[in-house]
Amino acid sequence: MAEQTYNFIDLFSGCGGMSLGFERAGFSNLIAIDNWKDALVTYAYNRPGANTLCADLLTLKPSDVEDRIGGKNVDVIIGGPPCQGFSVAGKRIVDDERNQLYKSFVAMVEHFKPKAFVMENVPNILSIGGGIIRNAIFSDFEQLGYTINCKVLLASDYGVPQNRRRAVFVGLRDKQYTFPDKTVNNPVTSWDALSDLTEDTTIEGGAYSNAPLSDYQRLIREGSVGVFNHNITIHREQTKHIIAMVPDGGNYKNLPKELWQLRKVHIAWTRLNSKKPSFTIDCGHNHHFHYKYNRVPTVRESARLQSFPDKFIFVGGKGSQLRQVGNAVPPFMAEQIALNLKTYI
């Protein structure tokens, strides 16, 4: 007997990190919606025939989405709506006009009435204003008939070589969702993720320079025909000289004090620690460096740290690719949420 297939739509999809996790868990995507064309180009490039829509979710009507998916049933809605409009001032926080993107997520859930929804955001969304945002989110979805649970998840607990923390809300009808237990006892390290990739640029689709050196590398290479998106950044000699002073896992405090103020951010001159998972991957601000090489991570290295498989290829300029990677939900973490969700729906 064939396994039940569940459909989902991805709002604020980006390049599709959360979608990929759900797809790996056996879900089928009906449509991915975002207002950033670059990200959707990457999304579609990795999914021939994918249904994508570049649109402003502030103005997009649920009925328009229903038309685009041919009236098909929606089992799950996933996504990460920006909540930059939330503030701690006043109790009418969710009525702030800047929060209409979040409200559009609520509207889609209200229209399609899925069996479940999964919404992710930054961890401090749970604590700002003594929990006023968290309480507003619970109230909005409970009024639609959903039972909500939320938790801050650590990506490295699910085989992602990155200590990325994300707040995840899961809503079900008449059921209380329990988040998946961690899937690894020994976290995947930066060395496990990156040690087989070269110091210098690899031509697009070029052969791997050596055999995989870890179980993670064997897993992440599955289905790949070569190395893509491994184009290094060329730094100034002064920058490389300063990076060279910082040891594996070190930061600006390892530099002479007269150099501490060269960059006015506390994360500056931070190296990955080869023996630990990466810190949270950013969107390419050139403050974080490889644990060994005197340069910032490439797009492919950043993708590895986010748990994107090597066969997932990023499209666009390098700056855009780094933003796509940095903004994504780690697919391995999303996969575990999706696999667990299957047991409820």
Q: What is the CATH number of the domain that holds 154?
A: 3.40.50.150
Q: Is the confidence at residue 207, as pLDDT, over 60? A: yes
User: Predicted confidence band at 174 (pLDDT cuts at 50, 70, 90)?
Assistant: confident
Residue 291: predicted pLDDT: 97
Q: Are residues 134 and 22 in the same domain?
A: yes
Q: How far apart, in whole angstroms, are the C-alpha atoms of residue 157 and residue 333?
A: 8
Find the catalytic residue in 15, 54, 83, 283: 83
Structural domains counted in the chain: 2
Q: Are residues 224 and 123 in the same domain?
A: no
Q: Are residues 15 and 102 in the same domain?
A: yes
In a domain, 55, yes or no: yes
> What pTM does this model have?
0.93
- Residue (of 292, 308, 291, 299) closest to 231 by Cα position: 299
Q: Are residues 175 and 53 in the same domain?
A: yes
User: Predicted confidence band at 267 (pLDDT cuts at 50, 70, 90)?
Assistant: confident
Q: Which residue range is the domain that position 37 belongs to?
A: 7-184+330-342
Q: Are residues 221 and 150 in the same domain?
A: no
- State yes or no: is 83 an active-site residue: yes
In a domain, 40, yes or no: yes
Q: What's the mean per-residue pLDDT of the chain?
A: 92
Q: Are residues 150 and 219 in the same domain?
A: no
Give the residue, 340 or 81, on which the prediction is more confident.
Answer: 340
Q: What is the mean pLDDT of residues 245-257?
A: 92
Q: What is the mean pLDDT of residues 61-76?
A: 96
Q: How far apart, in whole angstroms, are the C-alpha atoms of residue 300 and residue 200?
A: 12
Q: Would you state the structure tokens that stand for residue 282, as one six-digit string?
A: 């950013």
Residue 145: predicted pLDDT: 97
Q: How far apart, in whole angstroms, are the C-alpha atoms of residue 299 and residue 171?
A: 34
CA distances from 122 to 83, 164, 196, 223, 280 (A): 9, 10, 32, 32, 12
Residue type, 273: N
Q: Does residue 14 contact residue 37 with C-beta atoms inside 8 Å?
A: no
In a domain, 2, yes or no: no
Q: Is the confidence at residue 96, as pLDDT, over 60? A: no
Q: Is the confidence at residue 204, as pLDDT, over 90? A: yes
- Distance from chain centroid for Cα 247: 28
Q: Is the confidence at residue 225, as pLDDT, over 90? A: yes
Q: Are residues 106 and 205 in the same domain?
A: no
Q: How far apart, in whole angstroms, are the C-alpha atoms of residue 325 and residue 299?
A: 7
Q: How far apart, in whole angstroms, are the C-alpha atoms of residue 125 and residue 140?
A: 15
In a domain, 115, yes or no: yes
Q: What is the mean pLDDT of residues 80-108?
A: 66
Quickly list DSSP for 25-48. TT-EEEEEEES-HHHHHHHHHTST
Residue 138: predicted pLDDT: 94
Q: Would you state the structure tokens that stand for residue 141, as one six-digit string?
A: 């979805």
